[in-house]
Amino acid sequence: MPPDAPPSPHAARRLEGRVAVVTGGARGIGLSIAERFAREGAHVVVADIDEAEAHHAAAALGPQALGQRVDIAAAASVAALARAVDERHGRCDILVNNAAILDAAGIDAMSFEHYRAVLDINQDGAIRVTLALLPLIRKGGEARRILNIVSIQGVRGTRDSLAYATAKGALVNFTRALACDLGAEGIVVNALAPGFIDTRMAQLPDGSGHEHETDWFRDIYIRHGRIPLRRPGTPADIAGPAFFLCSDDARYVTGQILLVDGGVSSTF
């Protein structure tokens, strides 16, 4: 498996001076996106529910970065994030709605309260953050972007993912509808749908390892080619497409859901 891409001293810095807010930015996919944006010259706000990790990640990115605690399920916390971005920068050019929790409950293991708790974070959280930051996005420059991180489970059915898949599916159409609402203002809205990515969220419930390390995964997805590229993805595999959709190259791309899954959705 190829390692995550190291920082490059030759980055083109194509996001120079732009303000980017990344929720769930202290680890995994969010951190890799934050690192890529910082290498490209962006002022990155690393927003995460783990305050210590958010500050640690921001410190590693350099003096242009800011660590900020946010609980996307709490309106007051999201409002505090918006105030912090406003006080520091006065605008937001790029918003990446990445924060989420994993849930692997099927219908027989689910109460309505459990279902709503998952949606409150994975669906409503992204909408809360978008609504809170939209006034600052409207103050941004010409290359304003909103990028939602969804999942192939939001566009394909799988077992034991009822609340998670429903929330991600809702964000798929939230992306499309928001692109229609904001297109006349020149604000571009897209989503990335990762497949199997090697992050903490891929850890097995019993803590014994990650799903891609299991015999069933190696047999079905690697040996038999259910993933045509024959490997799980890394956070850096998501950061590149995220940069593209938030760059000037994607100025005429909006309302799109880009599946970044090693080809697994082609084998369903």
At residue 2, the pLDDT reads 43
pLDDT > 70 in the chain, percent: 87
- Considering the chain, tell me which residue range(s) the CATH 3.40.50.720 domain(s) occupy: 19-197+237-261
Q: What is the mean pLDDT of the chain?
A: 90
Query: In the structure, what pLDDT confidence band is assigned to residue 266 with cuts at 50, 70 and 90?
Result: confident
CA–CA dist 256, 241 (Å, integer): 12
At residue 11, the pLDDT reads 58
Taking the CA atoms of residue 33, residue 241, residue 194 and residue 170 in that order, the dihedral angle to the nearest 10 degrees is: 90
pLDDT exceeds 50 at position 57: yes
Mean pLDDT of all residues in 154-180 = 93
Burial of residue 230 (number of CB atoms within 10 Å: 0-12, 13-18, 19+): middle
> Domain 19-197+237-261 is in which class?
alpha beta
**At 185, which amino acid appears?**
E
At residue 161, the pLDDT reads 86
At residue 205, the pLDDT reads 58
| Active centre residues (catalytic) | 164
pLDDT exceeds 60 at position 3: no
Q: Return the closest-CA partner of residue 221 out of 265, 169, 157.
A: 265
At residue 76, the pLDDT reads 98
Q: Return the closest-CA partner of residue 254 out of 195, 168, 185.
A: 185
CA–CA dist 108, 94 (Å, integer): 39
Mean pLDDT of all residues in 106-126 = 95
Query: In the structure, what pLDDT confidence band is assigned to residue 232 with cuts at 50, 70 and 90?
Result: confident
* Number of neighbouring beta carbons within 10 Å of residue 167: 27
